[in-house]
């Protein structure tokens, strides 16, 4: 489920990028796998969705939205659910390491 608290407000400029998405001309089922889809069918659908994203003028904005909103399903900005989870995990780890380094640096200066 999307985390509503991470979504931008109702300002049009926060959402109007979606009007330029290459996916608007595609079947939305291409971007969201049906329940139980596995193997080659899953990989082929993801590959086809990513091909649409590859030519999209708002791909980066779409991915930023998906990461900020924690979109749990579908291909967004050319990335699958698993790829986005990995990005968020790496970001969390980087932030955690940065915070640890700051804490250690503060402790050393006292």
pLDDT tens figures, 55-84? 999 999 999 999 999 999 999 999 999 999
Q: In this predicted structure, what is the pLDDT of residue 10? A: 58
Neighbours of 44 (CB within 10 A): 11
Q: In this predicted structure, what is the pLDDT of residue 62? A: 96
Positions of the chain with pLDDT lower than 70, given as ranges: 1-13
What's the CA gap between 78 and 54, in Å, rounded? 7
79 is in an annotated binding site: no
What's the CA gap between 41 and 20, in Å, rounded? 28
Q: Indicate the pTM of the whole model.
A: 0.76
Q: In this predicted structure, what is the pLDDT of residue 4? A: 62
Give exposure, 61-93, as e/b (b: 16+ Cβ within 10 Å): ebbebbbebbbeebbbbbbbbebbeeeeeeeee
Yes or no: say if 70 and 88 are a contact pair by the CB < 8 Å rule.
Answer: yes
Q: In this predicted structure, what is the pLDDT of residue 98? A: 79
Yes or no: say if 30 and 54 are a contact pair by the CB < 8 Å rule.
Answer: no
What's the CA gap between 17 and 11, in Å, rounded? 12
3 state DSSP class of 79: strand
């Amino acid at each position: 489920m999307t985390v509503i608290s991470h979504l931008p407000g109702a300002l049009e400029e926060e959402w109007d990028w979606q009007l330029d998405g290459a996916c608007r001309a595609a079947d939305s089922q291409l971007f969201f796998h049906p329940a139980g889809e596995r193997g080659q069918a899953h990989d082929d659908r993801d590959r086809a969705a990513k091909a649409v994203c590859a030519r999209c003028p708002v791909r980066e904005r779409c991915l930023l939205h998906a990461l900020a909103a924690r979109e749990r399903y579908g291909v967004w900005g050319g990335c699958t659910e698993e790829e986005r989870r990995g990005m968020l995990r790496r970001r969390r780890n980087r932030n955690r390491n940065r915070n640890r380094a700051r804490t250690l640096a503060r402790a050393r200066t006292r």
